[in-house]
């Protein structure tokens, strides 16, 4: 993610951390056509990279480093901290992993296919006393084990991102994925930040940084029981998931209706529905987590009377909350492009 290369036939790889060439999109090829190097960006105090940013160790493949403002924005957007393990796919001169270790106390692995950049990054980390927290390896990014990562950083063109997307979508719920300039296909980002880069040598004087938080895979039907007005009732939640978008239907006893609120963020899951009953409308809400194939959390039952306005005094609402666990009513499908 620390940089990008584009060869003469339009192959673009994240610092050549890939096993084979792939044609770039027309738009991306236009951006990089004729580009020879990117002017250096200001380097944070105390971090002088051993590898010149304009160096191109591979003939015909100019190296395009990630500007320092973008590096800092990516780490900030992902809220990288001391407990994180950052995997940078195509680490180039190592600046992302080294900066994550230097300024945020994180550990990290830089994956890079160019041996000279791997050595330069390793030497730089050692000189800064970060060798134990910032490690660099010559490796194919498509064959890299991403399971230890809490944060994955990327600077790849769309075709490569699309090939990685299914693997990224199946990472541990809560894993943060940050990409510089390019999106993960139709997976809508959770947050987007525009970063000013006034000395950028090509294109507009800014970059865009995208963040995704891997959601738990909860698509399917879930069953459990809840206490409703002194008696236990069975419920069934049929959830439909499109990445981090959640919708569906809820049945409690003999009553059913569509979910009017549903959300998923990492392993946190919530949903609710207002169901009509003999005694009037009842709102059922679940707040909890996806844990080892179960939904574990709190179920609230709200008996809604007349809504209270500014002059209406107290409402006649009564809320009871109980712990509950829901289990799958159908075998889980294998998550693919849509986790």
- pTM as predicted: 0.80
pLDDT at 155: 92
* Domains of the chain and any CATH numbers: 3-213 (3.40.50.150), 220-328 (2.40.128)
Distance in angstroms (rounded) separating the CA atoms of residues 110 and 134: 8
Distance in angstroms (rounded) separating the CA atoms of residues 135 and 124: 11
Of 267, 222, 224, the residue nearest 248 (C-alpha): 222
Q: Mind spelling out the 3-state secondary structure of 92-123?
A: CCCHHHHHHHHHHCCEEEEEECCHHHHHHHHH
pLDDT at 136: 98
At 31 the three-state DSSP class reads helix
Backbone φ and ψ for 244, nearest 5 degrees, come out as -95, 5
pLDDT along the chain (339 residues), means of 10: 48 40 35 37 51 37 78 98 97 96 98 94 98 96 95 92 94 97 95 94 90 96 81 92 96 95 97 88 94 93 56 52 90 53
Of 162, 97, 150, the residue nearest 267 (C-alpha): 150
Radius of gyration of the chain (CA): 25
Measured from the Cβ of residue 195, the count of other Cβ atoms closer than 10 Å reads 19
User: Is the CB of residue 53 less than 8 Å from the CB of residue 63?
Assistant: yes
CB-based contacts of 207, cutoff 8 Å, min separation 6: 67, 69, 70, 73, 180, 181, 194, 195, 197, 200
Distance in angstroms (rounded) separating the CA atoms of residues 179 and 202: 19
pLDDT at 201: 76
What order do you get walking across the sheet with 268-277 strand by strand? 255-258, 245-252, 231-242, 220-228, 318-328, 294-303, 280-291, 268-277, 261-265
User: Is the CB of residue 110 less than 8 Å from the CB of residue 40?
Assistant: no
Of 272, 265, 279, the residue nearest 299 (C-alpha): 272
- Cα of 116 vs its chain's centroid, Å: 30
pLDDT at 47: 55
At 263 the three-state DSSP class reads strand
Cα-Cα end-to-end distance for the chain: 24
């Amino acid at each position: 993610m620390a940089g990008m290369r584009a060869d003469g036939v339009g192959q673009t790889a994240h610092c050549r951390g890939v096993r084979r060439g792939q044609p770039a999109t027309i738009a991306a090829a236009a951006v990089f056509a004729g580009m020879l190097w990117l002017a250096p960006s200001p380097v944070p105090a105390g971090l002088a990279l051993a590898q010149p940013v304009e160096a191109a160790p591979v003939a015909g493949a100019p190296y395009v480093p990630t500007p320092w403002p973008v590096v800092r924005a990516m780490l900030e957007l992902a809220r990288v901290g001391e407990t994180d393990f950052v995997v940078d796919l195509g680490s180039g001169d190592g600046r992302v992993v080294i900066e994550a270790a230097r300024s945020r106390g994180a550990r990290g692995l830089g994956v890079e296919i160019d041996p000279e950049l791997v050595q330069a990054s390793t030497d730089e980390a050692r000189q800064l006393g970060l060798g134990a927290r910032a490690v660099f390896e010559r490796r194919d990014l498509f064959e890299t084990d991403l399971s230890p990562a809490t944060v994955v950083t990327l600077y790849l063109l769309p075709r490569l991102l699309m090939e990685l997307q299914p693997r990224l979508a199946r990472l541990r719920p809560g894993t943060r994925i940050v990409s510089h300039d390019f999106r993960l296909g139709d997976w809508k980002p959770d947050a987007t930040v525009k970063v000013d880069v006034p000395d950028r040598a090509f294109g507009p004087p800014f970059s865009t940084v995208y963040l995704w938080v891997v959601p738990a895979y909860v698509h399917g039907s879930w069953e459990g029981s809840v206490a409703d007005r002194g008696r236990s009732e069975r419920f069934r939640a049929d959830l439909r998931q499109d990445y981090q978008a959640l919708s569906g239907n809820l049945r409690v006893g003999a009553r059913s209706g569509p979910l009017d609120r549903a959300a998923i963020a990492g392993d946190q899951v919530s949903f609710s529905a207002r169901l009509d009953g003999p005694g009037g409308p009842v709102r059922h809400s679940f707040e909890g987590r996806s844990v080892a194939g179960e939904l574990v959390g709190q179920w609230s039952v709200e008996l809604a009377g007349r809504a209270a306005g500014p002059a209406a005094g107290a409402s006649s609402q009564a809320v009871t909350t109980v712990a509950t666990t829901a289990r799958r009513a159908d075998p889980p499908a294998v998550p693919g492009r849509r986790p």
